[in-house]
Protein backbone atom coordinates (compact mmCIF):
# COMPACT_ATOMS: atom_id res chain seq x y z
CA UNK A 1 0.00 0.00 0.00
CA UNK A 2 1.39 3.40 -0.98
CA UNK A 3 2.42 6.16 1.40
CA UNK A 4 -0.40 8.39 0.20
CA UNK A 5 -2.84 6.11 1.92
CA UNK A 6 -1.80 7.23 5.36
CA UNK A 7 -4.49 9.51 6.69
CA UNK A 8 -7.03 8.14 4.23
CA UNK A 9 -9.79 6.45 6.13
CA UNK A 10 -10.70 2.99 4.93
CA UNK A 11 -13.52 0.90 6.16
CA UNK A 12 -14.90 -2.40 5.11
CA UNK A 13 -18.40 -0.94 4.85
CA UNK A 14 -20.53 -2.30 2.07
CA UNK A 15 -22.03 1.16 1.73
CA UNK A 16 -24.68 2.07 4.23
CA UNK A 17 -25.97 5.03 2.23
CA UNK A 18 -29.02 4.93 0.06
CA UNK A 19 -27.60 5.55 -3.39
CA UNK A 20 -24.46 3.41 -3.32
CA UNK A 21 -26.12 0.57 -5.27
CA UNK A 22 -27.43 2.94 -7.94
CA UNK A 23 -24.15 4.79 -8.31
CA UNK A 24 -22.11 1.58 -8.52
CA UNK A 25 -24.61 0.03 -10.92
CA UNK A 26 -23.89 2.77 -13.46
CA UNK A 27 -20.11 2.29 -13.29
CA UNK A 28 -18.61 0.49 -16.31
CA UNK A 29 -17.40 -2.33 -14.13
CA UNK A 30 -20.83 -3.21 -12.78
CA UNK A 31 -22.97 -2.29 -15.77
CA UNK A 32 -22.36 -5.69 -17.39
CA UNK A 33 -23.18 -7.73 -14.32
CA UNK A 34 -26.43 -9.30 -13.19
CA UNK A 35 -27.56 -8.71 -9.63
CA UNK A 36 -25.93 -11.85 -8.23
CA UNK A 37 -22.54 -11.27 -9.83
CA UNK A 38 -22.59 -7.60 -8.84
CA UNK A 39 -23.24 -8.62 -5.23
CA UNK A 40 -20.34 -11.10 -5.40
CA UNK A 41 -17.95 -8.47 -6.77
CA UNK A 42 -19.10 -6.00 -4.15
CA UNK A 43 -17.78 -8.22 -1.37
CA UNK A 44 -14.27 -7.25 -2.54
CA UNK A 45 -14.98 -3.53 -2.26
CA UNK A 46 -13.40 -1.38 0.40
CA UNK A 47 -14.89 2.02 0.94
CA UNK A 48 -12.51 4.98 1.13
CA UNK A 49 -13.38 8.44 2.43
CA UNK A 50 -11.33 11.53 1.67
CA UNK A 51 -11.68 15.02 2.97
CA UNK A 52 -11.52 18.01 0.65
CA UNK A 53 -7.98 18.57 -0.64
CA UNK A 54 -6.72 15.15 0.43
CA UNK A 55 -4.61 13.19 -2.06
CA UNK A 56 -5.46 9.53 -2.63
CA UNK A 57 -2.35 8.71 -4.64
CA UNK A 58 0.43 10.50 -6.49
CA UNK A 59 1.60 10.20 -10.06
CA UNK A 60 4.43 7.59 -10.37
CA UNK A 61 3.45 5.64 -7.26
CA UNK A 62 2.77 1.94 -7.54
CA UNK A 63 -0.94 1.33 -7.96
CA UNK A 64 -2.88 -1.73 -6.87
CA UNK A 65 -6.48 -0.48 -6.89
CA UNK A 66 -9.21 0.79 -9.14
CA UNK A 67 -11.82 3.22 -7.80
CA UNK A 68 -15.38 4.20 -8.54
CA UNK A 69 -16.56 7.58 -7.23
CA UNK A 70 -19.62 7.12 -5.00
CA UNK A 71 -19.99 10.72 -3.81
CA UNK A 72 -18.12 13.97 -4.46
CA UNK A 73 -15.55 14.96 -7.06
CA UNK A 74 -11.97 13.84 -7.74
CA UNK A 75 -9.43 15.70 -9.85
CA UNK A 76 -6.76 13.86 -11.82
CA UNK A 77 -3.64 15.91 -12.45
CA UNK A 78 -0.07 15.77 -13.64
CA UNK A 79 2.81 17.98 -12.58
CA UNK A 80 5.60 19.16 -14.88
CA UNK A 81 9.25 19.03 -13.71
CA UNK A 82 9.10 22.80 -13.05
CA UNK A 83 6.02 22.39 -10.83
CA UNK A 84 3.22 23.47 -13.17
CA UNK A 85 0.04 21.48 -12.96
CA UNK A 86 -2.18 20.12 -15.72
CA UNK A 87 -5.67 18.93 -14.86
CA UNK A 88 -6.58 15.87 -16.92
CA UNK A 89 -10.10 15.42 -15.70
CA UNK A 90 -12.67 15.96 -12.98
CA UNK A 91 -14.63 12.85 -12.08
CA UNK A 92 -17.96 12.50 -10.32
CA UNK A 93 -20.30 9.72 -9.18
CA UNK A 94 -20.17 6.41 -11.11
CA UNK A 95 -16.95 7.39 -12.89
CA UNK A 96 -13.93 5.13 -12.59
CA UNK A 97 -10.20 5.73 -12.32
CA UNK A 98 -7.04 3.84 -11.43
CA UNK A 99 -7.56 1.18 -14.09
CA UNK A 100 -4.51 1.97 -16.25
CA UNK A 101 -2.13 0.36 -13.80
CA UNK A 102 -4.44 -2.68 -13.80
CA UNK A 103 -4.16 -3.27 -17.54
CA UNK A 104 -0.60 -2.02 -17.80
CA UNK A 105 1.15 -2.74 -14.49
CA UNK A 106 3.26 0.36 -14.28
CA UNK A 107 3.20 3.40 -11.97
CA UNK A 108 0.18 5.67 -11.64
CA UNK A 109 -0.15 8.05 -14.57
CA UNK A 110 -1.76 10.86 -12.57
CA UNK A 111 -2.32 12.21 -9.06
CA UNK A 112 -5.84 11.81 -7.62
CA UNK A 113 -7.02 14.52 -5.20
CA UNK A 114 -10.40 15.15 -3.60
CA UNK A 115 -12.04 18.42 -4.74
CA UNK A 116 -14.81 17.95 -2.17
CA UNK A 117 -15.56 15.46 0.56
CA UNK A 118 -15.35 12.18 -1.34
CA UNK A 119 -16.54 8.62 -0.89
CA UNK A 120 -14.99 5.97 -3.14
CA UNK A 121 -15.42 2.26 -3.76
CA UNK A 122 -11.95 0.67 -4.08
CA UNK A 123 -11.30 -2.67 -5.75
CA UNK A 124 -7.90 -4.38 -5.62
CA UNK A 125 -6.42 -5.21 -9.02
CA UNK A 126 -5.74 -8.77 -7.80
CA UNK A 127 -9.42 -9.19 -6.86
CA UNK A 128 -10.48 -7.88 -10.25
CA UNK A 129 -8.28 -9.93 -12.57
CA UNK A 130 -10.24 -13.20 -12.17
CA UNK A 131 -13.41 -11.26 -13.09
CA UNK A 132 -11.83 -9.98 -16.27
CA UNK A 133 -10.55 -13.35 -17.39
CA UNK A 134 -13.70 -15.22 -16.36
CA UNK A 135 -16.23 -12.68 -17.72
CA UNK A 136 -15.41 -11.19 -21.08
CA UNK A 137 -18.46 -8.89 -20.84
CA UNK A 138 -16.89 -7.12 -17.86
CA UNK A 139 -13.63 -6.71 -19.76
CA UNK A 140 -15.58 -5.34 -22.75
CA UNK A 141 -17.28 -2.69 -20.61
CA UNK A 142 -13.94 -1.62 -19.19
CA UNK A 143 -12.45 -1.52 -22.68
CA UNK A 144 -15.34 0.68 -23.80
CA UNK A 145 -14.67 3.06 -20.91
CA UNK A 146 -10.99 3.17 -21.90
CA UNK A 147 -11.90 3.80 -25.55
CA UNK A 148 -14.19 6.69 -24.52
CA UNK A 149 -11.35 8.16 -22.49
CA UNK A 150 -8.98 7.90 -25.46
CA UNK A 151 -11.55 9.63 -27.70
CA UNK A 152 -11.91 12.42 -25.17
CA UNK A 153 -8.13 12.76 -24.80
CA UNK A 154 -7.78 12.98 -28.60
CA UNK A 155 -10.43 15.73 -28.66
CA UNK A 156 -8.63 17.64 -25.92
CA UNK A 157 -5.32 17.32 -27.79
CA UNK A 158 -6.87 18.54 -31.04
CA UNK A 159 -8.49 21.47 -29.22
CA UNK A 160 -5.14 22.47 -27.72
CA UNK A 161 -3.79 22.79 -31.27
CA UNK A 162 -6.82 24.01 -33.23
CA UNK A 163 -9.15 25.85 -30.82
CA UNK A 164 -8.61 29.22 -29.13
CA UNK A 165 -8.84 29.64 -25.36
CA UNK A 166 -12.46 30.95 -25.26
CA UNK A 167 -13.53 27.98 -27.39
CA UNK A 168 -11.79 25.58 -25.01
CA UNK A 169 -13.34 27.29 -21.99
CA UNK A 170 -16.80 26.94 -23.58
CA UNK A 171 -16.14 23.27 -24.32
CA UNK A 172 -14.93 22.45 -20.81
CA UNK A 173 -17.94 24.20 -19.28
CA UNK A 174 -20.29 22.16 -21.49
CA UNK A 175 -18.46 18.95 -20.54
CA UNK A 176 -18.74 19.82 -16.83
CA UNK A 177 -22.39 20.82 -17.35
CA UNK A 178 -23.19 17.42 -18.80
CA UNK A 179 -21.96 15.70 -15.66
CA UNK A 180 -22.52 18.18 -12.87
CA UNK A 181 -25.25 20.51 -14.16
CA UNK A 182 -28.48 21.12 -12.25
CA UNK A 183 -31.47 22.90 -13.76
CA UNK A 184 -32.41 26.15 -12.03
CA UNK A 185 -35.12 28.73 -12.79
CA UNK A 186 -32.86 30.75 -15.06
CA UNK A 187 -30.47 28.16 -16.48
CA UNK A 188 -28.16 25.28 -15.75
CA UNK A 189 -26.06 25.60 -12.61
CA UNK A 190 -22.69 23.87 -12.91
CA UNK A 191 -21.09 23.50 -9.53
CA UNK A 192 -17.64 22.38 -10.68
CA UNK A 193 -15.86 22.96 -7.34
CA UNK A 194 -12.75 24.22 -9.16
CA UNK A 195 -10.79 27.32 -8.24
CA UNK A 196 -10.02 29.76 -11.07
CA UNK A 197 -6.51 28.32 -11.17
CA UNK A 198 -7.80 24.74 -11.47
CA UNK A 199 -10.25 25.69 -14.20
CA UNK A 200 -7.34 27.25 -16.10
CA UNK A 201 -5.29 24.06 -15.60
CA UNK A 202 -8.18 22.05 -17.06
CA UNK A 203 -8.39 24.34 -20.08
CA UNK A 204 -4.59 24.40 -20.50
CA UNK A 205 -4.21 28.19 -20.45
CA UNK A 206 -3.25 30.93 -18.02
CA UNK A 207 -5.69 32.00 -15.31
CA UNK A 208 -5.79 35.51 -16.76
CA UNK A 209 -6.80 34.32 -20.23
CA UNK A 210 -9.43 31.95 -18.90
CA UNK A 211 -10.86 34.63 -16.60
CA UNK A 212 -11.00 37.05 -19.52
CA UNK A 213 -12.98 34.51 -21.59
CA UNK A 214 -15.36 33.87 -18.68
CA UNK A 215 -15.87 37.59 -18.09
CA UNK A 216 -16.59 38.04 -21.81
CA UNK A 217 -19.18 35.21 -21.76
CA UNK A 218 -20.77 36.76 -18.66
CA UNK A 219 -20.85 40.19 -20.24
CA UNK A 220 -22.63 38.75 -23.29
CA UNK A 221 -25.23 37.19 -20.98
CA UNK A 222 -24.30 33.58 -21.79
CA UNK A 223 -23.50 32.70 -18.19
CA UNK A 224 -23.26 34.01 -14.64
CA UNK A 225 -20.12 33.41 -12.58
CA UNK A 226 -20.53 32.19 -9.00
CA UNK A 227 -18.08 30.84 -6.41
CA UNK A 228 -16.70 27.56 -7.84
CA UNK A 229 -19.70 27.43 -10.16
CA UNK A 230 -21.25 28.99 -13.25
CA UNK A 231 -24.89 29.27 -14.26
CA UNK A 232 -25.23 28.73 -18.00
CA UNK A 233 -27.92 31.07 -19.28
CA UNK A 234 -27.56 30.61 -23.05
CA UNK A 235 -26.56 27.05 -23.87
CA UNK A 236 -26.86 27.48 -27.67
CA UNK A 237 -24.46 30.41 -27.88
CA UNK A 238 -21.97 28.68 -25.58
CA UNK A 239 -22.22 25.55 -27.72
CA UNK A 240 -21.63 27.54 -30.91
CA UNK A 241 -18.57 29.18 -29.35
CA UNK A 242 -17.15 25.75 -28.44
CA UNK A 243 -17.10 24.56 -32.09
Helix axes 196-203, 207-219, angle to 10 degrees: 100
From 107-115, 130-138, 159-167, 195-203, span contacting ligand CMP (CB under 6 A): 107-115
Nearer to ligand CMP, 32 or 96 (CB): 96
Closest distance of CB 36 from ligand CMP, Å: 27
Question: In this structure, is the dihedral angle defined by the CA atoms of residues 147, 152, 158 and 160, taken in order, positive or negative?
Answer: negative
Please give the size of the binding site for ligand CMP, defined by CB under 6 A. Answer: 14
Q: Among 2, 100, 143, 218, which residue interacts with ligand CMP (rule: CB under 6 A)?
A: 100
Question: In this structure, is the dihedral angle defined by the CA atoms of residues 122, 6, 100 and 156, taken in order, positive or negative?
Answer: positive
Q: Among 101, 172, 201, 242, which residue interacts with ligand CMP (rule: CB under 6 A)?
A: 101
97 binds ligand CMP (CB under 6 A): yes
Return left, alpha or beta for 64; rule: phi > 0 is left, psi -120 to 50 is alpha, else beta.
alpha
Nearer to ligand CMP, 76 or 121 (CB): 76
Please list every residue from 110 through 129 that binds ligand CMP, using CB under 6 A.
110
Q: Where are the alpha helices (DSSP H) in the chain?
A: 20-25, 28-31, 35-42, 100-103, 125-134, 136-162, 165-180, 196-203, 207-219, 235-241
Report the half-sphere exposure of 219 (CA within 13 A, side-chain side).
Answer: 6
Q: Among 89, 116, 163, 196, which residue interacts with ligand CMP (rule: CB under 6 A)?
A: 89
In the shown chain, the binding pattern of residues 153 to 182 toward ligand CMP, with x for contact by CB under 6 A and - for none, equals x-----------------------------
Closest residue by Cα to residue 199 from 185, 180, 219, 184: 180
The residues of the shown chain that bind ligand CMP, judged by CB under 6 A, are 63, 76, 88-89, 97-101, 108-110, 149, 153
Amino acid sequence: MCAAWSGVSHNGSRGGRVNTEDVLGKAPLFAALDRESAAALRTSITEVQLSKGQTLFHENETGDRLYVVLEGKIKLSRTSPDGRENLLSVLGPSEMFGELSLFDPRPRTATATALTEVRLAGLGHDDLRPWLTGRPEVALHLLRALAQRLRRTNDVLADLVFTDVPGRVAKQLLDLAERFGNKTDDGLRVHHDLTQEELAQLVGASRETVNKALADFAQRGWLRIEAKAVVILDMDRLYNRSR
